[in-house]
């Protein structure tokens, strides 16, 4: 059937480096096109990062249309167009189902395995790789890419040199390095003369200049609205849940906001603790409560509006002692309380380190890569897929879909290149 592929016993048509989401899909798609594929993974198993995604449930994709998908990719969305055309979220879910992983779609169109087990995603992909005859070499670390007069021709591993006719680099970013993503692909790309953009953490906890959030460490706020402002512009505004930590703030709203942080300029978050009430409604409520409270302390009123632990801290932020007697609250103090209940500022000082980020922002410059094939423009038989490239997205299953779709396109294109060269 696939006579276009001729090679020696030892030479792989396509060598895929990295057995994460992108690498497994790249190997599968290359093999489906008839290429002889070897998948190299330095860990003892495939998909180590997949196991920890979605808190072990793996939010495998977001079942949305193309426009919605691209709106959730803050940088370089158009680069992904061809990859998503080849494999959209429905195609991915169908493929997983074909290989035994049934999925379900939850709130916000987020898709998960029905079993709620991330391992079922990897199992399905492993089954597909076996059926398509992909040779998987675990515990094999790639050290570099080798070139001869004809171009890229082999990879150097810790177990020796493996010749090949095309390489797909799917080594991931530098987040959660214990899963194997240690940035090796950036070094390979740079050695081949490709530009790699600066790496930064995205989808990560945020350090605040204010120290009061640390006093509330461990407290979760539900149904609050968080708005990020930078250079006079709203960069994000969403209702949901957030968490105070020993370094500042985290939790779903903050993690999401972190991917909107601009490269330059100060960013301030404004926390609306009572999004269901207008300033006037809140002021009227406070007036009533202050009147009724008489000699009670400020804390007692604040505890009706805020979680108990937050009351005293909030009073201090308002410039009052929580023990102050309500009847002594001035009009100015009341309006300050209203103002801060609706717009409590948190100034961004920085983020947690990249190793703790859910994704790495930055990577192999997409200007170096042809979006229709995922091949390096300067080196036709070198391909990239997944987080190693300068693409990242919001939470909701988009990052894994990007890895799968770009992997599929790189695999298919690499196999086609070899086939065309043989004909």
Ligand X SMILES: Cc1cc2nc3c(=O)[nH]c(=O)nc-3n(C[C@H](O)[C@H](O)[C@H](O)COP(=O)(O)OP(=O)(O)OC[C@H]3O[C@@H](n4cnc5c(N)ncnc54)[C@H](O)[C@@H]3O)c2cc1C
User: Which residues of this chain interact with ligand X, rule CB under 6 A?
Assistant: 17-23, 40-43, 48-49, 52-54, 58-59, 141-142, 170-172, 175-176, 179-182, 184, 358-359, 386-387, 397-400, 403
Distance of CA 162 to the CA centre of its chain: 32
Q: Write down the least CB distance from residue 268 to ligand X, Å.
A: 27
Q: Write down the least CB distance from residue 58 to ligand X, Å.
A: 6
Q: Which is nearer to ligand X, 34 or 386 (CB)?
A: 386
Q: Which is nearer to ligand X, 47 or 228 (CB)?
A: 47
Q: Write down the least CB distance from residue 264 to ligand X, Å.
A: 25
Taking the C-alpha atoms of residue 32 and residue 132, their distance in angstroms, rounded to an integer, is 6
Q: Write down the least CB distance from residue 226 to ligand X, Å.
A: 20
Taking the C-alpha atoms of residue 12 and residue 37, their distance in angstroms, rounded to an integer, is 6
Rounded to a whole number of angstroms, the distance between the first and last alpha carbons of the chain is: 14
Q: Write down the least CB distance from residue 180 to ligand X, Å.
A: 2
Taking the C-alpha atoms of residue 59 and residue 93, their distance in angstroms, rounded to an integer, is 11
Taking the C-alpha atoms of residue 160 and residue 162, their distance in angstroms, rounded to an integer, is 7
Q: Which is nearer to ligand X, 141 or 238 (CB)?
A: 141
Q: Write down the least CB distance from residue 62 to ligand X, Å.
A: 8
Q: Could you tell me which of 262, 260, 257 has the C-alpha nearest to residue 243?
A: 257
- The residues, ordered by sequence, that sit 6+ positions from 392 with a Cβ below 8 Å of its Cβ are 73, 74, 75, 202, 203, 259, 359, 360, 361, 399, 402
Q: Which is nearer to ligand X, 181 or 297 (CB)?
A: 181
Q: Which is nearer to ligand X, 7 or 179 (CB)?
A: 179
Q: Which is nearer to ligand X, 108 or 275 (CB)?
A: 108
For 140, phi then psi, to 5°, come to -125, 110
Taking the C-alpha atoms of residue 213 and residue 52, their distance in angstroms, rounded to an integer, is 28
Taking the C-alpha atoms of residue 130 and residue 213, their distance in angstroms, rounded to an integer, is 50
Q: Which is nearer to ligand X, 297 or 413 (CB)?
A: 413
Q: Decide: helix, strand or coil at residue 46.
A: coil
Q: Write down the least CB distance from residue 228 to ligand X, Å.
A: 21
Q: Write down the least CB distance from residue 152 to ligand X, Å.
A: 16
The enclosing H or E element of 279 equals helix 279-293
Q: Which is nearer to ligand X, 46 or 310 (CB)?
A: 46
Contact 2, 144 (CB under 8 A): no
Taking the C-alpha atoms of residue 414 and residue 32, their distance in angstroms, rounded to an integer, is 12
Q: Could you tell me which of 243, 374, 397 has the C-alpha nearest to residue 309?
A: 243
Q: Which is nearer to ligand X, 15 or 242 (CB)?
A: 15
Contact 219, 242 (CB under 8 A): no
Q: Count the Cβ atoms, other than its own, within 10 Å of residue 412.
A: 23
Q: Write down the least CB distance from residue 132 to ligand X, Å.
A: 18
């Amino acid at each position: 059937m696939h006579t276009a592929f001729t090679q020696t016993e030892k030479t792989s048509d396509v060598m895929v480096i990295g057995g994460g989401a992108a690498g497994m899909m790249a190997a599968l798609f290359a093999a489906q096109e008839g290429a002889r594929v070897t998948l190299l993974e330095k860990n003892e198993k495939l998909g180590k990062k997949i196991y920890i995604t979605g808190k072990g449930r793996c939010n495998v994709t977001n079942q949305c249309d193309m426009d919605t998908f691209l709106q959730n990719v803050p940088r370089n969305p158009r680069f992904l167009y061809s990859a998503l055309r080849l494999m959209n979220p429905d195609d991915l879910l169908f493929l997983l189902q074909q290989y035994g992983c049934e999925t379900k779609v939850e709130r916000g169109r987020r898709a998960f395995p029905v079993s709620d087990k991330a391992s079922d995603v990897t199992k399905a992909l492993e089954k597909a790789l076996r059926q398509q005859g992909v040779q998987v070499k675990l515990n094999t670390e790639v050290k570099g890419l080798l070139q001869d007069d004809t171009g890229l021709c082999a990879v150097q591993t810790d177990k020796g040199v493996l010749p090949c006719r095309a390489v797909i680099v799917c080594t991931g970013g530098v987040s959660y390095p214990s899963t194997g993503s240690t940035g090796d692909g950036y070094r390979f790309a740079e050695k081949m003369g490709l530009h790699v953009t600066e790496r930064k953490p995205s989808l990560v906890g945020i350090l605040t200049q204010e120290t009061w959030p640390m006093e509330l460490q461990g407290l979760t706020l539900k149904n609050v609205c968080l708005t990020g402002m930078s250079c006079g512009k709203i960069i994000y505004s969403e209702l949901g849940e957030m968490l105070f930590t020993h370094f500042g703030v985290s939790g779903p709203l903050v993690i999401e906001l972190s991917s909107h942080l601009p490269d330059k300029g100060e960013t301030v978050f404004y926390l609306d603790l009572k999004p269901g009430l207008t300033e006037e409604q809140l002021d009227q409520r406070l007036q009533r409560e202050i009147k009724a409270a008489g000699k009670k302390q400020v804390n007692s009123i604040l505890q009706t509006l805020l979680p108990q632990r937050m009351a005293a801290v909030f009073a201090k932020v308002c410039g009052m002692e929580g023990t102050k007697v309500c009847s002594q609250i001035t009009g100015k103090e009341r309006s300050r309380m209203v103002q801060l209940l609706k717009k409590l500022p948190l100034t961004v000082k920085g983020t947690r380190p990249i190793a703790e980020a859910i994704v790495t922002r930055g990577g192999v410059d997409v200007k170096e890569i042809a979006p229709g094939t995922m091949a390096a423009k300067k080196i036709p038989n070198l391909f990239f897929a997944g987080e190693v490239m300068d693409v990242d997205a919001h939470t909701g299953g988009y990052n894994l879909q990007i890895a799968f779709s770009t992997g599929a396109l790189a695999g298919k294109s690499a196999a086609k290149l070899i086939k065309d060269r043989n004909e």
